[in-house]
Amino acid sequence: MEDIILLKLGEIVLKGLNKRIFEDKLMANVRRRLKQYGNFRVYTVQSTVYVEPQDEFCDMDGALEAMKTVFGVVAISRAAACPKDKDEIFKMAKSYLGDEIRRAKSFKVESKRSDKAFPMTSIQLSQYVGGLLAEAFPETKVDVHNPELVVNIEIRDYSAYVHGIPIPGAGGMPVGSNGRAVSMLSGGIDSPVSTYMMAKRGVSIIPVHFFSFPYTSQLAKEKVIRLAELLGPYCGKLTLEVVPFTHIQEEIRDKCPEEYFTIIMRRFMTRISQRIAEANGCSAIVTGESLGQVASQTMEAMAVTEECVSIPVIRPLVCLDKTEIISVARKIGTFDTSILPYEDCCTVFTPRHPKTKPRLEEVLKAEAPLDVEGLVEEAVTGIERVVISK
Ligand code: ATP
Ligand code: MG
């Protein structure tokens, strides 16, 4: 008899008629993540996804770990299996949850039966097991109204299961349930976090990196690939689009006034992102900008940057402080890679006095000498695709 994993669904339970579609997406994502850990059966009953190993070769620890990055899951429990007999259930609860019961100030037992042939009602079973546990752990009070710990028992077709305090899931909504977006991924701290946050809202991500070889090194590119790999467990399928950006930057440097370098460069990034969005059925562009963080992140600069595209530019970090962004970066494991010291293309031709409040007419005049369409076309044609996760 094997343990199973129970996943509690979050917001998607609120979605009425769409619920089925959301659940199916979530289960597909769960199955995808479980593939490398063995042969599992995955199904949903009443807003809980059951993950059942089908043989003894399944890696349950690996599977449990993997489930922590699946968006749409709010809580995860590993449940121990035992025979469907009231005394066996008590014995399992005592050994499997003994430490948790001892540590808690109070507890209660809650039972659920999907096998209605079981000879006791849920209430009878809870009272029976609860009574024996209370005797076995006299230092922990029984409190049926506001217990610190709930000892859960489930009677299912082939086994009974016992589980206690769940661990937190990743929250959010299943990736793929809320459309697709292009996410501009630099090697910095911010954009991996904005990419993560967008995926958390159920959006499939096409990460895009603008690469200015030889001004930025091969190591800088490898760093971005590594960041994308770290985001893979959250985002699901990922293919990084690496856009050759050198020629555009040189053209800007040679033909435009210095104080507009950054804003013109960002307009190119945005245009190219829109082209990639169109080619991949994406409805938005995501960036890691945060209001006021640098000269190009004022509201005026943002307005000029997005003036050249028609799809929304979404900035999940716009109102977060750097310390808040860093704490997410640490939580999702991208921080240490982000702070590796490789140049980003934004820092290659940084103006000494960038315009913080650029006016559109002036920017249009400044970029007039450039063959915008031709440069965009050239960059898009040269895109290199790096498959991160399938
Ligand atoms: P980050 O920490 O994400 O690099 P930042 O604070 O350095 O951000 P900028 O360099 O102004 O800010 O970039 C703002 C946003 O533009 C980034 O968060 C990212 O979404 C996008 N961006 C910047 N450089 C690149 C790049 N080389 N490739 C892809 N996207 C980029
Ligand atoms: Mg940057």
Q: Give tens-digit pLDDT for 77-86.
A: 999 999 999 9
- Helix (H) or strand (E) run with residue 101 in it: helix 86-103
Pocket test for ligand 1, best of 186, 268, 350 (most atoms within 8 A of CB): 186
Q: What is the predicted pLDDT for the residue at 163?
A: 95
Rounded to the nearest angstrom, the gap between the alpha carbon of residue 385 and the centroid of all alpha carbons in its chain is 22
pLDDT of 1 strictly over 60: no
Cβ of 294 closer than 6 Å to ligand 1, yes or no, is: yes
Chain region(s) in the chain for CATH 3.30.2130.30 = 2-170
Cβ pair 332, 234 in contact under 8 A:
yes
pLDDT band at residue 295 using 50, 70 and 90 as cut-offs:
confident
Cβ of 209 closer than 6 Å to ligand 1, yes or no, is: yes
pLDDT of 18 strictly over 80: no
Q: What is the mean pLDDT of residues 19-28?
A: 90
pLDDT of 343 strictly over 80: no
In ligand 1, which atom is closest to the CA atom of 317? 18
> Secondary structure of the chain: what % helix, strand, coil (to 5)?
45, 20, 35
Cβ of 118 closer than 6 Å to ligand 1, yes or no, is: no
Question: Any residues with CB less than 8 A from the CB of 40 and at least 6 apart, and which?
Answer: 31, 34, 51, 52, 53, 54, 58, 63
Question: Fold for domain 180-388?
Answer: Rossmann fold (3.40.50)
Question: Fold for domain 2-170?
Answer: VC0802-like (3.30.2130)
pLDDT of 128 strictly over 90: yes
* Nearest ligand to residue 184 Cα: 1
Q: How much distance in Å is there from the Cα of 260 to the middle of ligand 2?
A: 17
Chain region(s) in the chain for CATH 3.40.50.620 = 180-388
Whether pTM exceeds 0.85: yes
* Nearest ligand to residue 189 Cα: 1
Q: How much distance in Å is there from the Cα of 350 to the middle of ligand 1?
A: 13
Sign of CA dihedral 89, 30, 22, 228: positive
Q: How much distance in Å is there from the Cα of 183 to the middle of ligand 2?
A: 13
Reduced to 3 states (helix: H, G, I; strand: E, B; else coil), residue 271 is: helix
